[in-house]
Amino acid sequence: MRILWAPWRIVYVTSCSSRRGCIFCDKIKEDNDEENLILYRGKYSFVMMNLYPYNNGHLLIAPYEHVPDLVDLNKETLLELMYMVKGCIHLLKEVMRPDGFNIGINIGRVAGAGFEEHVHIHIVPRWLGDTNFMPVIGDVKVIPEGLKETYRRLKARIEILGKALREAY
C-alpha cells in the first residue's frame, strides 16, 4: 500500500468530532480576514475561501445571519448573495481563468451540508485538465497552488467583486 502524507488534514479530521460553534459566525467576528481566508465583506453576506477546497479558488458565500436554509433569508440578503455569486464568477474568470464552475448549496446533512446550521453557497472553479487519474485510481486529489497564494491573487483583484455588488445597490 502506498501512503500519501497529508499532515495538515489532522486539523480538519479532529475538528469534525469536536466542532463547537459555527465556522461562519466565528470567523466573521474576528478581525483577521487574511488568516481566516475572508476575501470580501458585503452588507448582508461575505466571501471566504474554503480551507479544504475541492479545487483551487473554491469559494464560500455566506450570509451574516445564522440560518440553515435560504427560505429563512430576507430578499435583500438573497439579492446580495446572488450578486456575490456573480461577482465571484467574474473574479475567478479574471484571475484563475477556469473553463467552468460548479455552484451549489447543500441544505441539510442528507444533502451533504458539512455546516448544516448556516446556509452557504459553494463556487468551485473547474478546468478541463482538473480531472485525471489521481482521484479515480489513487483516490487522491491534487491541489496545485497553496491557499495563501490563491488568497493573495484573488484579494489583489477584489475590486471586480465590488463592482458587481455596486450594480445591486
Angle formed at CA 75 by CA 70 and CA 80, multiple of 5 degrees:
85
- The answer to whether 79 and 86 have CB atoms below 8 angstroms apart is no
pLDDT of residue 144: 60
What percent of the chain is modeled with pLDDT above 70? 78
What percent of the chain is modeled with pLDDT above 90? 53
Residue-range domain boundaries for the chain: 22-168
The answer, as to whether pTM is greater than 0.85, is no
Q: Is the pLDDT of residue 90 over 80?
A: yes
Compute CA distances 136 → 39, 128, 139, 140, whole Å: 32, 16, 6, 8
Side-chain-side CA neighbours of 97 within 13 Å: the count stands at: 1
Please state the three-class secondary structure of 102-149 as a single string.
EEECCCCHHHCCCCCCCCCEEEEEECHHHCCHHHHHCCCCCCCCCHHH
Letter for the amino acid at 43?
A: K
- The answer to whether 51 and 147 have CB atoms below 8 angstroms apart is yes
pLDDT confidence band for 137 (50 / 70 / 90):
very low
pLDDT of residue 115: 80
Side-chain-side CA neighbours of 105 within 13 Å: the count stands at: 17
> Where in the sequence numbering do the catalytic residues fall?
120
Most confidently modeled of 47-56, 67-76, 132-141, 144-153?
Answer: 67-76
User: Could you report the per-residue pLDDT of 52-65, keeping only the tens digit for each?
Assistant: 888 889 999 999 99
What are the residue ranges of helices labelled H in 7-47? 9-18, 23-29
Indicate the fold that domain 22-168 takes in CATH: HIT family, subunit A (3.30.428)
